[in-house]
Amino acid sequence: MLDIKFIRENKDLVKEGARKKHIEVDIDRLLELDNKRRELLSEVEQKRAEQNQATEKISKSQDSDEKQSMISEMQSLKEELQNKEEELKQVTIDWQNLMVLVPNVPDISVPEGEDDNGNQEVRTWGDIPKFKFEPKSHIDLMLDKDMADFERGSKVAGFRGYFLKNDAVRLTFSIWQLAYEHFFKKGNFIPMITPSVVRKEAFMGTGYLPQGEDDLYKTQDETYLTGTSEVSVMSYYMEERLERSDLPKKFFAFSPCFRREAGSYGKDTKGLMRLHEFFKFEQVVLCEASHEKSVQFHEELTANSEEIMKTLNIPHRVVVNCGGDLGLGQVKKYDIEAWVPSENTYRETHSSSYFHDFQTRRLNIKYRDENGKMRYAHSLNNTAVATPRLLISLIENNQQADGSIVVPEALRGYMGKEVIK
């Protein structure tokens, strides 16, 4: 959430940010409501002061007629105050409902564009394999090796359901172990296993509500299933105060994840690309309220994920997301996209974002700076590893003419084999 003072003083900039993100929000109406809210707040405070003065006078009066007259006047004042308080309450609700719809202002380096077609390539890594045969899809390869069962997955779990089996399970556990050890060696990440059933306040605070409710699973207890451990980790310090010496806070968090994929009807209906249930390691950082620090950590988190991809020898590229492909709170985002031979294109496997104080203002996470002033921290998050999606590119890029799959060297110690036959 943006500071209303910032919105008042930078109305045109906020409007331009919303335009660039292709998000419709009535900033003029918000400012009208804010003016009305402040006006009513002043009137309510004035009438409360008058009521307190009247109460004091009544308590000191010795004349019964005078006291009765003042009581009658105060009753009228009390009714006026109640009316103003009710009006203020409604205006405040309308103001709050608009405030949570105002998007964060994207960085000037974010390119124009309506959707992911407007994303721009930053860099590529790895050699795209040149097969002397027609490469198979991960679906065919996994079915041939009894590594997955999509038919029974749909029977048991419904649309987009799946079972991983045999070497697909071993590959998954191997990737998890590799990722954990990779970040453990860095020594400055706090490992976490986080809740997947989370209260509404956490989703509001991270910006997934109210706009993204269609993509969330909701329980009968008014809680939601998370689509990323970012929601849980960011809410860990909700309503808390930190010291500057506590920062940065770096987390390496694991959780099962759930997404309805409500806006992707007809897309990637087969295979492991777009699932309702998956598993993910997430990097989350809280740092000082500094744009330079946010940019520094954004590049660092992205590089951490690229290191995993390079270790697995998966050809990939990094793209900077255009305005229309940014979420409500994101200032800037990179996607890492892995090469998928059967589709002859890159597909997204990771995302890396920074938010400034958009999330921490909603979650009320502050720290005391070097001058003793309370500031909202800055936040960032990044996909470290998401499975089983990562299996798509790993399996397809390592397939052989005889249908076997070469195990990446970095995983052979965990797998106990060099080739899946």
* Annotated active-site residue in 235, 348, 379, 396: 348
* Annotated active-site residue in 137, 255, 351, 352: 351
What's the start-to-end Cα distance of the chain, in Å? Answer: 52
**Token digits for 315?**
């050809």
Active site residue 348: yes
Active site residue 259: yes
Active site residue 389: yes
* Annotated active-site residue in 259, 305, 352, 393: 259
Q: Which of 356, 241, 238 is nearest to 293 (CA)?
A: 356
Distance between CA 173 and CA 47 in Å, rounded?
Answer: 66
Distance between CA 249 and CA 242 in Å, rounded?
Answer: 10
Q: Which of 138, 247, 270 is nearest to 190 (CA)?
A: 247
Q: Are 331 and 13 in contact (CB under 8 A)?
A: no
Active site residue 368: no
Q: Are 361 and 374 in contact (CB under 8 A)?
A: no
CA distances from 10 to 104, 105, 171, 329 (A): 12, 10, 51, 17
Active site residue 29: no
Q: How many other CB atoms are there within 10 angstroms of residue 65's CB atom?
A: 8
CA distances from 34 to 31, 98, 184, 215, 244 (A): 5, 10, 48, 31, 32
Lateral strand order in the sheet of 345-354: 120-125, 316-320, 332-340, 345-354, 378-387, 277-287, 249-258, 190-193
Q: Which residues contact 70 (CB under 8 A, 6 or more apart)?
A: 54, 57, 58, 61
* Annotated active-site residue in 8, 199, 274, 375: 274
Is residue 403 exposed (0-12), middle (13-18) or buried (19+ Cβ within 10 Å)? Answer: middle
Strand pairing partners for 278?
A: 257
* Annotated active-site residue in 37, 389, 393, 396: 389
Give me the active site residues, please: 259, 274, 348, 351, 389
